[in-house]
Amino acid sequence: MDRHDQKQETIASVEATKHPFDTFGVAIFLVVLVEIILLVGLNLYQKSRAQNLGRQLNEAKQTLATPEYAKLNNQLEEVLAGQQKLQTVLAGKAQWSKFYSLLNGVTPKNVKINSIQVSNSGTFRIEAETPTLSTLAHALVAWQNGTAAATTPFSSVKLNANGYASDRGSRIVTFSVSGTINLSRMK
């Protein structure tokens, strides 16, 4: 009987031990349960917050719909419509400071521009002077093609007239050019 008691003792000790999986499973279950409770609580909080904001929005809409705010609402609509029109107009306008920067970048240093006339359609006329015909030729090429340092603001340039004048005892070349400004580069 000694042996039989020994077998029972061994069996009893095996049955009494817990499996590690049971403890790990309980821990996972508890973590998942806590997460579910937190998600449900967060969901209820967000629903409550959304309902509260919806109520506040409806109250504000009702307040703005009252006759005392009707004039203000009309003025606001006019301002918004005017702002959209202003943005459309401004988007179509040329930035003349950019034009003058580009013109300065392509104009040779010896060229003195006396006047510039620009129409709304983008055509222009320039009256200018240079010390030589060679400088005039350089100016025309730079205005038509641009330079390595700057692009030309013009889409076309042609020489209208040129001649000679006297300035403080020295002879200068006067000239007139016309053409078209590339307005798409000025926006």
Question: Which tens digit of pLDDT belongs to each residue from 14-30?
Answer: 555 556 567 777 888 89
> pLDDT tens for residues 124-149?
999 999 999 999 999 999 999 988 88
pLDDT interval class at 60 (50, 70, 90): confident
The partner residues of 118 in beta bridges, in order of sequence, read 124
Whole-number Cα distances in Å, 59 to 29, 67, 95, 137? 45, 15, 46, 73
Residue 173 phi, psi dihedral angles, 5° rounding: -100, 125
Strands 123-130 and 170-181: antiparallel
- Give the span between the Cα atoms of 177 and 127, in whole angstroms: 7
- Give the span between the Cα atoms of 42 and 146, in whole angstroms: 65
Residue 118 has pLDDT above 90, yes or no: no
> H helices within the chain, ranges in order?
2-16, 20-64, 67-92, 96-106, 133-145
